[in-house]
Amino acid sequence: MSWFEPKAEKAKIPPAKALWAICPKCGSHFEKAVWKKNNAICPKCNYHGRLSARERIAQVADAGTFSEVFRAVSYSDHLSFHDATGPYKAKVEATIAKSGETESIVMGTAKIDGHPVMLGVMDFAFMGGSLGTGTGERIARACEQAIAENRPLVLFSASGGARMHEGILSLMQMAKTSAAIAKLHREHDPPEASRRLPVGGIP
């Protein structure tokens, strides 16, 4: 027997969260593929989990038809805002790096059941889906493009409200987006067929 025997390496077991989706409500475990296939709805208690913007887009838009626009339009930090936990710029840049998104809404052109639309989906994982200057600008531009291209505008809201880090500039977005949507209503009446877009099966 050798004086020195190397210790057997312990098997590296992936953490539970890497293998399983855990329902936040009832605590049931499901394979992630099952959770994803069921659109983040718990098969046991019917709890509806949160979907990312990209997951929602894949769910509602016809395959291969979504084309993102306004991605370069992002946040502003005119106030050089800091709070007790650090600068706003550092927080939002960390969120961009983690999520791969550049604002709290993903906007693009798409087709739903063959009908051309402007499609915007907010993502709560990006700063709580808050309404910042970049978000408001994307919505306003989407309204203008919807008018120009005679497309209905479809928005999925998942917002925690105005983004306090941007102060009054964030609050102004409520008026800005409301005015843009009002203009869309005045100048653009969607084609009759688009008023009957199917919504069944969307959780």
What does the pLDDT read at residue 30?
A: 84
pLDDT band, residue 202 (cuts 50/70/90): very low
Under the banding of pLDDT at 50, 70 and 90, the label for residue 203 is: very low
Cα 26 versus chain centre, distance: 25
pLDDT for 60-118, tens place per residue? 999 999 999 999 999 999 999 999 999 999 999 999 999 999 999 999 999 999 999 99
Residue 4 token pair: 């020195």
Q: Which residue has the higher pLDDT, 29 or 134?
A: 134
Amino acid sitting at position 149 = E
Give 39's pLDDT tier (boundaries 50, 70, 90): confident
H helices of 48-151, where?
Answer: 53-60, 88-99, 133-149
Residue 179 has pLDDT above 60, yes or no: yes
Query: Where would I find the H helices in 127-188?
Result: 133-149, 167-187
Q: Which helix (H) or strand (E) holds 30?
A: strand 29-31
Q: What is the rounded distance in angstroms from the CA atom of residue 156 to the CA atom of residue 162? A: 16
How far apart are alpha carbons 131 and 106 in whole angstroms? 13
**Could you give all domains of the chain from N- to C-terminal order, each with its CATH number?**
16-49 (no CATH), 50-192 (3.90.226.10)
Alpha-helical regions (H) of 27-121: 32-37, 53-60, 88-99
Owner of token pair 């008018």: 147
- Overall pTM surpassing 0.75 (yes/no): yes
